[in-house]
Structure 1
């Protein structure tokens, strides 16, 4: 048996690597040693657990004093038996390891998840900030350096050097490094020792600040979301292959358009800026080096497009700006989505996106590998790749203006609450209220649409942040016009400004944080106290969706769920029952929050996810669907 020693927190720890059957007597004695909670971790061949070639190589068990690193090609049965012992386990980023052992060791999520603690969850509850935001972050090594040992070893650098010495990369090293290589074994063993010690520090801290209830909720939620990740979403592979080819052709087509205006490389800032200037465009924004800025935020308004890729109707689109953004988007989608779908799918042509339960400071959920939440609602083509299982239909329900309803409830905005109760469209109501009934009645249809967009922008500025400059870019308005709209918005809803000021004053003279209705503590930056309202509203909207996921599982409807995306839950149901099932899911999502109804908008999409976003099949081809006012497509099949 290989045994390594290391110093952690001033004490010597042991890392044991059994090499033959008789070495496992020591492991069995370790399990019987009286530790109530053990740490657990895995080492596999990569991050993509469900890809056909993924393998589990090591399973590590440990406490604060020693670790046992088991080869799963020799001791898989012993590792599985240990996990089935009726004891709690602690892991760092538990969903990854839970899904790994579910697939490779046969220890099911439902069997192990309910008795698993996650130090990443505990760390997020105590401080959700990333290092870039002034926090520790959520990585095991940085957290250990603060809470366990300032000299906590980060063997990742050593491993990377070993990978290079073997002619391997970071991507191939995990599969190619010899399983008994000393740095690899040490890395694996130290992770569980650090995780166990970190748990002993963070657990009491979470209890001391009164966050036990959130800890229980988040641990339960992440197991449910891991079940969705394990379930996956079926891909229409022939469609994805065509989509990739079409997107690459589209990218090339728009590159040809750009070349007509002297731009040989759409990724060249200098070429694009010079060509736009020659066409008479004024480039006011600058990069840190002083060069004209031509990022998406600058180019989309020049192309008369919002950040959501919807037509602004405020200017004649600049053909070069339009070509550049469309070429770059098509090329990105071809690789980041179509190629990624094909690369990440499992043997049954299902994709298993990673669902992050706790992301960013506000705890908003995220979808990664691939990042499906970044898709604009104005184009159905990528979503069309996801299809229902045989005999099933895609269904979905999203919240109706949930952030605005949360804001109305928290700030007690009386007129907004009355509009919600009356079933009014909030953005139209706000525009009519601000302009006055007489002026509103005198406007034409396009004028009403434009003012609705402006006041919608002002409202979402309250929810997501952003001043007049940002909102002007998003709405296609001028900065001065947007300033007037914001002032009008504040005049008709004075409660919001008072609520924001109250939150900022409490943060300035208190602990520089806000506490959400669920009890979540959200730190504020010293120079961005104005973000207090944004954080509380966004985090509360997230908590409502998270509670809905829990309630849907409790109602016996969890088997239908596929993905949470923003404020929407994507699901499937037998075609004959689709209407009834989505009504029940929508009902489970609804609640009353501080006297304001939180309502859902259930819908039967059809054969694919894209059918809810503008794809309507006619003669086997997707065409633009016109009967869905919230989601509309602009592309042709």
Structure 2
């Protein structure tokens, strides 16, 4: 039954099969069946292809839903780059990768269609649904009946008299009434969407679609959307009359200009194209007998015994007279890559044969969990041989390695440089790995050892490829979208290579994979992960480049040692990726990694390259002011102590506090000295001790002077004239970013001295700085996560949350709220999040511990949901040693069962806080990832420069300030969607000014 030209008219039955959807249905049905049928003898996964062929044969021989096809189209999505991506880049942005053992079956599905004598239908720019819609319209125009074989709700808009959908589910096509199969007509569409098929698009535009990342209208689901459309008739009428809607939230969601834009955009995204320029005419889909020998040859090659025998019987073919199709049977080695099944020579030999877990059945071997076990066993068994690495010193050999990388489709990389500052260092060498054990090092900036100094003067080695020629070769490889680039801490390599005009993509980062999987269980450095997952101890940098007085710098390391060190890093990164990546789907961490971790690499790289301007004159003046203030404090401190001493010496200070003065609260450190930590001094200061208060003030000024006023000018990049901080993604346990060189996260914002430092951060001439800061985000998340009605209502009504809390607790009307009462409520609100004790609250408010305890008790009585949340979280972390955020990020607490009661209490407080602070961290990450595109789409020149806790700092043209604020606020407030829909609104405070302090 091959396709041929056949007129379409009344009496014709056009079957349109949603091939892309069918592939996944077949796959997930196959993995529930006996595994021995799911793999060819050479371990090629074929289970989905087998079921696909079985259904396809049933369609062409028996038909479905009481009809036999006269015309048949199997329609696939050609790629994800449809025209919808052009109008909304985030369309389908959060879809997870297909299962690893389904990928090699995609091209086999198309081969199966051809073996049946059919033509796989697929087209650039259009999705399979658009082609189905176009063929359906054409067929109905000619009087034919149409059967759409799919259960996809997006196709329900096509249902009309003469067009129905058929969901074969797990039933047998053609056997009407078999288990789970069903016809989807108008009644079924109404049952699903609540509207007739002609109004489905309007409902989808309002409800959105989290699977395809269609935004829709905030807070409106399918049920509400259907009610609105049925009430107002259609979407245009609804939007026109939306100001009349009585419910405030619903009215706002349908009238706010940006919301309306998103609704109309959503309608464009969900509306199927019904006039696509199809490349295969409808009449050419006519069905006739297939070439039976060709079909049998393919089925034999796939080793489908049952269906091969059935086809042979149906078409009178002697199986023994037909050889398996040689295009699909080859040597023992097969590989699936880039959507194409290829026969290749066996992969390059490794140091040892990968070990497989003992006692695994075929089904277990190809589940996500078993793939993890297989890869982990392989990682431990395949030892690293540094002597096998190659030092590449000729263009011919570099070409060969680049060709191998293209052939492999993946390459791990690592850069060696003259310093750790990626904005100023020079490239010394690049390492590549294309398979475990197959790695090389390409020296580019090595110098003769023993002459010159560390900063230049020595001649470049003549035995290495000139830098410019190597860059010209590597740039196309690193920028090729078809080749995956892997590295550990990829942001550093991106920054280094960007200095040479190379924009690396797409990427994988093993440090961030580890962080997504094992936050709280271990650190995520390359050396530690190599030891943990590979059982391998890496060469240390100091062992090849020296340290201290013996440091020679990597540029002077001998090439054989440099090759061992550099190539090992790339090799280990590749091996770690193979071992860790399968854990993401197995442990349901794919979305965390792909939406919260990996996209941040490029986002932060751009921010770091932009940098921020500082005013050195302001900092110089502040340094002088701080020095004078410190001198005055020193005089006061020495007078109170009755003697002078070294304020920077904890020992001398301890002797004064607890030896000479005999103050309470003395604690000894592990060394036996008195503790003079900030917490000890703060406890004393809270009790009214002026000496401790002045010590704290002196310390803060000393830190601000040394860390910022004096040090910041030294961080100005001579090439850019700006300060470029470095952000660390995997450095905290709560997903908060940290910054260093310089650290901009710890500048105090609640005291005058800290605000003076922020004044020194300025905008370029003609531009302004914009600070956009989430307002009380952690309290809002607490209200959502713990489901606190009073707090949720207060936030929804935009009330003063601290005044409302005070009113709830102390019975004081909000209108006449004394400032001190509000301050106490504020301290409790924020303190509760961090597990504040009665002692801590007493110190903070300057009240007795008993009174503070009464406040906390009253707080939990007024908001019992918070206590319930805390108790539930404690129970969870004790049972599972982990907690999870609303975005699926997992925080591990392996020491929650510590024998030390103080430790247990600490980890319980951390576990209670983690889902709140972690969600806040992830929300701002989601905003940051989307921000650059949002600004560019709005035609704005603004750039995101800094992230500090819940705040983003931008630089914008003065004339674009308001527009930039509008975009920033919109992106930040909508950041949780579509992954999470909060029951409280997020609020962002934003303003523009000439410097950071005035903008905050």
Alignment of 1:207-218 (within 5 A): 207-217=585-595, 218=597
Bigger drift between 274-283 and 338-347 goes to: 274-283
Tell me whether 1:122 sits opposite 2:122 in the alignment.
no
Displacement of 1:274 after TM fit? 4.1
- DSSP 3-state at the match of 2:780: helix
**Aligned partners of 1:384, 1:608: CA distance in 2, in Å?**
5
Q: Does 1:501 align with 2:871?
A: yes
**Deviation at 1:201?**
0.6
Is the Cα–Cα contact under 8 Å of residues 398 and 568 in structure 1 kept in the other structure?
yes
How far apart in 2 are the matches of 1:463 and 1:192? 42
Q: Is the contact between residue 454 and residue 485 of structure 1 (CA under 8 Å) also seen in structure 2?
A: no
Distance 1:273 1:382 in 2: 30
Determine which of 153, 167, 175 is the counterpart of 2:538: 153
2:709 maps to: 338
SS in 1 for 2:439: strand
1:150-199 CA distances to partner (integer Å, 9 max, x unpaired)? 23323235236x345xx344xxx436x51435433322111000000000
Tell me if 1:611 matches 2:998. Answer: yes
Instruction: Classify the secondary structure of the residue corresponding to 2:441.
Output: strand
Deviations 1:297-324 (A, max 9, x none): 23245456xxxxxxxxxx7561x33432
Would you say the 8 A contact 2:432–2:441 is kept in 1?
A: yes
Higher mean C-alpha displacement, 286-295 vs 343-352 = 286-295
Q: Which residue of 1 aligns with 2:803?
A: 428
Shift of 1:284: 4.2
8 Å contact from structure 1 (residues 50, 345) kept in 2: no
What is the aligned length?
570
Q: Deviations over 1:579-621 (max 9, x none)?
A: 33213311221138432111111122x21112245xxxxxxxx
In structure 2, relative to structure 1, the CA distance for the partners of 1:465 and 1:92 (3 Å cut) is farther
* 1:140-539 matched pairs, under 5 angstroms: 140-148=526-534, 150-159=535-544, 162-164=546-548, 167-169=549-551, 173-174=552-553, 178-217=556-595, 218-260=597-639, 261=641, 262-276=643-657, 281-289=663-671, 291-300=673-682, 302-303=684-685, 318=690, 320-347=691-718, 348-377=720-749, 378=751, 379-437=754-812, 445=818, 448-449=819-820, 451-509=821-879, 511-524=880-893, 525-526=895-896, 527=904, 528-539=907-918
Name the structure where strand makes up a greater proportion of residues.
1
Determine helix, strand or coil for the equivalent of 1:47. coil
Check conservation: 1:490, 1:497, Cα contact below 8 A: yes
Choose from 19, 27, 43 the match for 2:416.
43
Indicate if the aligned counterparts of 2:512 and 2:729 stay in contact, CA closer than 8 A.
no
CA distance in 2, matches of 1:316, 1:532: 33
Number of the residue aligned with 1:138: 524
Residues 67-86 of structure 1 correspond to what in structure 2 (within 5 A)? 67-73=439-445, 74-75=466-467, 76-77=470-471, 78-86=473-481
Aligned pairs (5 A) from 1:615-626: none
Cα deviation 1:317-341 (Å, max 9, x = unaligned) = 61x3343233333332233223432
Extract unaligned runs of 5+ from structure 1. 130-134, 305-314, 614-637
Please tell me whether the aligned partners of residues 485 and 507 of structure 2 are also in contact (alpha carbons under 8 angstroms): yes
CA contact (8 A) 2:612 2:761 kept: yes
TM-superposed deviation, 1:119: 0.4
SS in 2 for 1:597: coil
Deviation digits for residues 33-82 of structure 1 (CA, Å, limit 9, x no counterpart): x222111111112222224xx21211111132122212234244233343
**Structure 1: distance between partners of 2:694 and 2:560:** 53
Q: Give the stretch that moved more between structures: 336-345 or 519-528.
A: 336-345
1:352 positional shift: 0.9
Task: State whether residues 942 and 957 of structure 2, in contact with CA within 8 Å, keep that contact through their aligned partners in structure 1.
Answer: no
Q: Deviations over 1:481-527 (max 9, x none)?
A: 32222111111110011122222223333x32112111111112423
- CA distance, structure 1, for counterparts of residue 972 and residue 390 of structure 2: 49
Task: Supply the distance in 1 between the matched residues of 2:816 and 2:479 (Cα, whole angstroms).
Answer: 71
Aligned with 2:491 (options 92, 95, 100): 95
Question: 1:357 offset after TM fit, Å?
Answer: 3.5
**How far apart are residue 429 of structure 1 and its match?**
1.5
- Cα distance change, pair 154–71 in 1 and its aligned pair in 2 (3 A): closer
Partner of 1:629: none
- Over 3 Å counting, the alpha-carbon distance change for 1:505 and 1:392 in structure 2 is same
Distance 2:484 2:924 in 1: 28
**Contact kept in structure 2, 1:155 and 1:183, CA below 8 Å:** no
Closer, same or farther: CA 479–58 of 1 in aligned 2, 3 Å: farther
Partners of 2:433 and 2:533 in 1: how far apart?
18
The 2-side partners of 1:594 and 1:459 are apart by 19
Closer/same/farther in 2, CA of residues 339 and 57 from structure 1, 3 Å limit: farther
Q: 2:487·2:573 contact (CA, 8 Å) conserved in 1?
A: yes
Inter-partner Cα distance in structure 2 for 1:20 and 1:151: 30
Cα 1:23–1:421 change in 2 (3 A) is closer
Q: Which moved more, 1:197-206 or 1:551-560?
A: 551-560
2:762 is paired with a residue whose SS is coil
Structure 1, 497-506 or 381-390: larger mean CA deviation: 497-506
Q: Distance in 1 between matches of 2:619 and 2:562?
A: 38
Contact conserved, 1:159 with 1:183, CA < 8 A, in 2? Answer: yes
> Cα distance 1:477–1:552, how it changes in 2: closer, same or farther (>3 A)?
farther
CA distance in 2, matches of 1:477, 1:298: 18
Look up the SS of the partner of 1:562 in the other structure: strand
Q: Measure the CA separation in 1 of the matches of 2:849 and 2:673.
A: 22
Contact 1:61 1:68 in 2 (8 A): yes
- Cα distance in 1 between the residues matched to 2:842 and 2:542: 45
8 Å Cα contact 1:9-1:152 kept in structure 2: no
Cα distance change on mapping 1:505 and 1:296 into 2, 3 Å = closer
Q: Matches of 2:677 and 2:946 in 1, distance apart?
A: 31
Q: Which stretch has the larger CA shift, 75-84 or 381-390?
A: 75-84
Partner of 2:966: 583
2:742 aligned counterpart, secondary structure? coil
Q: What SS is found at the alignment partner of 2:956?
A: strand
Q: CA deviation at 1:268?
A: 2.5
CA distance in 2, matches of 1:608, 1:25: 50
CA contact (8 A) 2:544 2:561 kept: yes
**Alpha-carbon deviation of 1:380?**
1.1
CA gap of 1:283–1:462, structure 2 versus 1, over 3 A, is: closer
* SS of the residue 2:985 aligns to: strand
**C-alpha offsets along residues 209-250 of structure 1, whole Å, 9 cap, x if unaligned?**
122222221211221121111111112123333334444454
The alpha-carbon distance between structure 1 residues 185 and 244, as it changes in their structure 2 partners (threshold 3 A), is farther
Whether contact under 8 Å (1:67, 1:189) holds in the other structure is: yes
Contact 1:70 1:79 (C-alpha < 8 Å) held by counterparts: no
- Supply the distance in 2 between the matched residues of 1:437 and 1:324 (Cα, whole angstroms): 38
TM-score, reference length from structure 1: 0.83
Deviates most, 59-68 or 457-466: 457-466
